[in-house]
Amino acid sequence: MQTSTLKHLAIIMDGNGRWAKERGLSRTKGHEAGAETIRGITTYCASHHNIETLTLYAFSTENWKRPKLEVEFLMKLLDRYLKSELETYIKHNIRFQAIGDISVFSKSLQKRIIDTEDITKDHKNLTQILALNYGGRAEITYAVNRLIKDGKNEISEDDISRALQTPYEDIDILIRTSGEERISNFLLWQLSYSEFYFTPTLWPDFNSKELDEILNNFKQRNRRFGGL
């Protein structure tokens, strides 16, 4: 039987707000519960399934449209999360990296992100990439502009792949929680031959048991990449 190898898993972590609403809680409580799930899933991936990279969509270029108070809360939560996670990154030998335009974040949050990247840069078990103020179109546009600035006047697919902020393996599997079945401007370039899984589970309820089921199913899938 076919066994697909899994290097790069990406997740659109959706449904925090609905999880909170179902419980009569504020949306912020949903985001806090979602942050706990990130911790659990990340540490699980560090020691199971031989996953090399886990890319998580945490804040999109479109999420600025949300109420100011929710956006402010998410920025504070991110700072708090990275501060408390450092111990986890060290204990589980996890490298942290960010993609997206973080230059618009507060100076202290930018410092937290860059410091966490620096401290964990030699960690080898798993790379956890958080997509922060990330948009797939913005990433491609930025890459092309960079190539033009470098003096290129003819651009190949390889050039674009290398100029992206996510110059890693293409995505093997994309999971989206909460029942929505769309990409919402995530990793447009890197998803060209990914397997997709949509689960109705809201992100705070997502757990390693469901991840196992999805990944075991993935391993049986026959990925043809256009061949036979």
Tell me the catalytic residues.
14, 63
Give 29 or 92: the residue with its C-beta nearer to ligand IPE: 29
Q: Taking CB under 5 A as the criterion, which residues in 8-47 touch Mg ion?
A: 14
- Residues 210 and 129: their CA atoms lie apart, in Å, by 21
- Residues 185 and 224: their CA atoms lie apart, in Å, by 25
What is the smallest separation between the CB atom of 15 and ligand IPE, expressed in angstroms? 4
What is the smallest separation between the CB atom of 87 and ligand IPE, expressed in angstroms? 24
Q: Are 177 and 203 in contact (CB under 8 A)?
A: yes
Residues 6+ apart with CB under 8 A from 23: 29
DSSP reduced 3-state for 104: helix
56 contributes a contact to Mg ion by CB under 5 A: no
DSSP reduced 3-state for 29: helix
Give 14 or 172: the residue with its C-beta nearer to Mg ion: 14
58 contributes a contact to ligand IPE by CB under 6 A: yes
Give 17 or 51: the residue with its C-beta nearer to ligand IPE: 17
DSSP reduced 3-state for 59: strand
Binding interface with ligand IPE (CB under 6 A): 12-18, 57-60, 63, 74, 178, 180, 182, 184
